[in-house]
């Protein structure tokens, strides 16, 4: 059933902490997608090499393998969730800042190693922040919490894609990367100031409980067939969108835009579109419910892909670039991602939050890690316009699963 309470009744210390942690969660990934991509492209790497570089980020896909360890063990005095958050945030500050001190022409292998470490720490931070969000928020706050964290995650992209690229036009890359790394510190401060969530029962007593029971519960809950449907849906819901943006910076540069134009366009429209996506997505999901939000938001994120195809036909039009940035931020990484996160949160058992949610989010990252690594080769064969048309078509298999996964008129769609 949908919720009739006013949206502002959900704003409290818990949801505000999710805002800061969502920003901290998104910053490392978008640093690798946007800033690192521009850095390496400017150093002379071709589109195929840039696409293959995405393989160094495979920890986002396999983070469910070590998520049970984060469910089982506590490090430091801050508690099971806050201890892991503080460790990963501090490590990310050091690794992101240090990345810009390397030379892409002489130390490419070392750069790949640091990128892997950033991806590993970032994926680990995601595991514990997702678990923290699921545990700290009340059931009726989960839908709005999903919208907040998704849009804070997206808002973090503006630091490397807007601030970082604008700075790169006049500042050394070392200064740019350390400036971006400094934006990890507000999340660390939030981790130190917030409280540890209450436990849903006892944490796993041993590794067997931490590893086996979460997967057994998921399969037995509604049967293996429904479990496979859920897995396939999570895999496919964002595939068209993630492929579209995999090499977006390279696409904009190929059209003839400068890094400054790209950064200013992202800053002019992306920030405000992310804010609008956060407000509309959270409030709209409270009114619609998660099931209907998956339908409506899924259609809008598919339409956002066509903006890239339009830009590929039109050429370097700064106004259209801003429009494409804005609608993609609003529809795809705002509304669509919020609905998927809310759906995945609803599908977890609170006893096994970190492990089960890590499994779902790892599946959602498969296109970004493996399929996206082939994007450079597809673009080389098809050209940018037809590549975006292919991405648009790939947005619809998941939509065809919605009658089975999230029926429009289902009464079982608690937010």
Alpha-carbon Rg for the chain, nearest whole angstrom, is 20
Mean per-residue pLDDT, 266-274: 71
User: What is the DSSP secondary-structure string of 295-341?
Assistant: HHHHHHHHHHHHHHHHHHHH-S-HHHHHHHHHHIIIIIIIIIHHHHH
pLDDT, tens digit (0-9, with 9 covering 90-100), for 72-99 = 888 888 888 899 999 999 999 999 999 9
Query: What is the largest distance, in Å, between two alpha-carbon atoms of the chain?
Result: 60
Instruction: Confirm whether pTM is higher than 0.85.
Output: no
pLDDT of residue 48: 65
Q: Percentage of the chain with pLDDT > 70?
A: 88
Lowest mean pLDDT among 60-64, 250-254, 290-294: 60-64
What 8-state DSSP symbol labels residue 283? H
pLDDT, tens digit (0-9, with 9 covering 90-100), for 150-209 = 778 878 888 898 888 889 888 899 999 999 999 999 999 999 999 888 765 566 777 777
Q: Is the per-residue pLDDT at 211 higher than 80?
A: no
The structural domains of the chain, with segments of one domain joined by +, span 7-405
pLDDT, tens digit (0-9, with 9 covering 90-100), for 104-163 = 878 878 888 898 899 999 999 999 998 898 888 877 777 778 888 877 887 888 889 888
What CATH number should be reported for the domain whose range is 7-405? 1.20.1250.20
Q: Which two tokens stand for residue 39?
A: 């850095």
Q: Is the per-residue pLDDT at 308 higher than 70?
A: yes
pLDDT of residue 414: 45
Mean per-residue pLDDT, 372-389: 88
Are 116 and 92 in contact by the 8 Å Cβ rule? The answer is no
User: What is the DSSP secondary-structure string of 225-239?
Assistant: HHHHHHHHHHHHTTH
Are 297 and 336 in contact by the 8 Å Cβ rule? The answer is yes
pLDDT of residue 415: 40
Mean per-residue pLDDT, 308-312: 94
pLDDT of residue 1: 45
Q: Which two tokens stand for residue 340?
A: 């998927």
Give the span between the Cα atoms of 377 and 387, in whole angstroms: 10
């Amino acid at each position: 059933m949908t919720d009739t309470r006013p949206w502002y009744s959900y704003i409290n210390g818990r949801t505000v902490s999710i805002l800061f942690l969502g920003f901290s969660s998104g910053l490392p990934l978008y640093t690798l997608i946007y800033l690192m991509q521009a850095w390496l492209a400017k150093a002379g790497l071709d589109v195929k090499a840039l696409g293959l570089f995405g393989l160094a980020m495979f920890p986002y896909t396999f983070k469910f393998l070590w998520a049970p360890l984060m469910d089982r063990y506590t490090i430091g005095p801050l508690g099971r969730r806050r201890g892991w958050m503080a460790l990963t945030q501090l490590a990310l500050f050091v690794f992101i800042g240090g990345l810009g001190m390397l030379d892409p022409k002489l130390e490419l292998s070392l750069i790949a190693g640091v990128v892997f470490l950033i991806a590993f720490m970032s994926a680990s931070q995601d595991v514990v922040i997702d678990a923290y969000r699921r545990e700290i928020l009340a059931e009726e706050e989960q839908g709005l919490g999903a919208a907040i964290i998704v849009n804070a995650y997206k808002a973090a992209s503006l630091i490397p894609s807007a601030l970082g690229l604008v700075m790169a036009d006049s500042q050394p890359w070392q200064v740019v990367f350390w400036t971006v790394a400094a934006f990890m510190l507000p999340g660390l401060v939030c981790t130190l100031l917030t409280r540890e969530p209450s436990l849903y029962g006892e944490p796993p007593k041993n590794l067997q409980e931490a590893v086996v029971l979460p997967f057994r519960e998921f399969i037995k809950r509604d049967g293996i067939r429904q479990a496979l449907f859920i897995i396939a849906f999570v895999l496919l819901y964002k595939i068209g969108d993630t492929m579209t943006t995999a090499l977006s910076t390279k696409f904009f540069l190929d059209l003839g835009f400068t890094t400054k134009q790209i950064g200013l366009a992202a800053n002019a429209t992306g920030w405000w579109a992310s804010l609008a996506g956060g407000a509309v997505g959270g409030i709209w999901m409270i009114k619609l419910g998660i099931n209907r939000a998956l339908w409506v938001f899924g259609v809008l994120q598919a339409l956002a892909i066509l903006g890239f195809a339009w830009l590929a036909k039109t050429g370097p039009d700064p106004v259209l670039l801003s429009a494409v940035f804005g609608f993609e931020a609003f529809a795809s990484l705002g509304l669509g991602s919020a609905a998927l996160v809310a759906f995945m949160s609803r599908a977890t058992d609170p006893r096994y939050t970190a492990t089960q949610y890590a499994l779902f989010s790892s599946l959602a990252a498969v296109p970004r890690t493996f399929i996206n690594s082939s994007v450079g080769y597809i673009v080389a064969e098809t050209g940018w316009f037809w590549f975006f048309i292919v991405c648009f078509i790939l947005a619809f298999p998941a939509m065809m699963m919605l009658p089975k996964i999230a029926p429009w008129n289902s009464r079982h769609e608690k937010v």
